Amino acid sequence: MQQYILKNEDILKSYYEYWLKGIKPLAIMEKLNLSKRKFNELTPDFLTYCRHRLKFDTRESLTRNEEPVLVELTDDRRKEFLEWILSGLPYDKAALMMNVPLITVTDFWFKDVTFKTMVDIASETSVARMTKALFKRGIGYNLPCEEVSTTKGVTAEGVTFDSKTTTKKIKHYPGDITAQKFFLYNRAPDKWSIDGAKTNGSGKGKIIAYIDSLSVINDNLLDKFDEDQKAFDEKYNVE
């Protein structure tokens, strides 16, 4: 592969120019007149060359007091960047997955306030999704499921049979203590802390003091909650 690259430096330079313009890989493959197999073999070398060549060109432009060379942030690249941010990646990792310098993205969002707003929304959305998932894991949840049971037997005529029965149920997944602690430590640090020995002036640990403040939930309310939970379990066959 390396010999092929060394003999075809023009291919690397051509790929680099197309890459700077944001042309899609399949379109570059057609422009370079390469087979899909050969293009896939050379792709790692193409990407490595682009990263190093861009750094070199950027240094050269800075020494000449010129504008740095930037990869064009096309509509497709902007969309891909937003998708990576929505998936939970930080900005630098999202840019790395796209094989574009982070400065390409940051330079563009300083020029386009709308795009920067979309990036902020995507980032907040990913955090909100994780917060919702963490909260759900902390309080527990019910999930529909199917239970299949098999009955084997012999008929009066001496014929063996297998009978399968599918029962729809609601399986309950109890709250996870680790998720509960992590959520409370971060969302209510004034009431919950990792160091349970910290006091709030009353001589009691912050967690214990807060639990004491919840005494307004009397025994009658707790009994009512238990009755409602039991009725729910019986109705939906919760295990």
Lowest mean pLDDT among 114-123, 134-143, 160-169, 188-197: 188-197
pTM of model > 0.75: no
**Domain ranges for the chain:** 2-63, 75-133, 141-149+164-236
Residues 6+ apart with CB under 8 A from 238: 142, 169, 170, 171, 172, 232
Q: Is 154 helix (H, G, I), strand (E, B) or coil?
A: strand
CA–CA distance, 208 with 205 (Å, rounded to integer): 5
How far apart, in Å, are the Cα atoms of 15 and each of 6, 21, 56, 58? 14, 10, 16, 18
The first and second tokens of residue 60, run together, are 């050269």
pLDDT in tens, 46-80: 888 888 888 888 777 777 777 767 778 888 888 98
Q: What is the DSSP letter of 175?
A: P
CA–CA distance, 173 with 70 (Å, rounded to integer): 50
pLDDT in tens, 87-146: 888 988 888 888 788 877 888 888 888 888 899 999 998 888 888 888 888 888 888 888
Tell me how crowded residue 134 is: count the other CB atoms within 10 A of its CB: 16
Average pLDDT, the chain: 77
**Per-residue confidence (pLDDT) for residue 1, from 0 to 100:** 42
Rounded CA Rg of the chain? 30
**Per-residue confidence (pLDDT) for residue 223, from 0 to 100:** 62
**Per-residue confidence (pLDDT) for residue 2, from 0 to 100:** 45
**Per-residue confidence (pLDDT) for residue 73, from 0 to 100:** 81
User: Checking phi first, is residue 72 left (phi over 0); if not, alpha (psi -120 to 50) or beta?
Assistant: beta
**Per-residue confidence (pLDDT) for residue 102, from 0 to 100:** 82
**How would residue 3 be classed by pLDDT, with cut points 50, 70 and 90?**
very low
Q: What is the DSSP letter of 157?
A: T
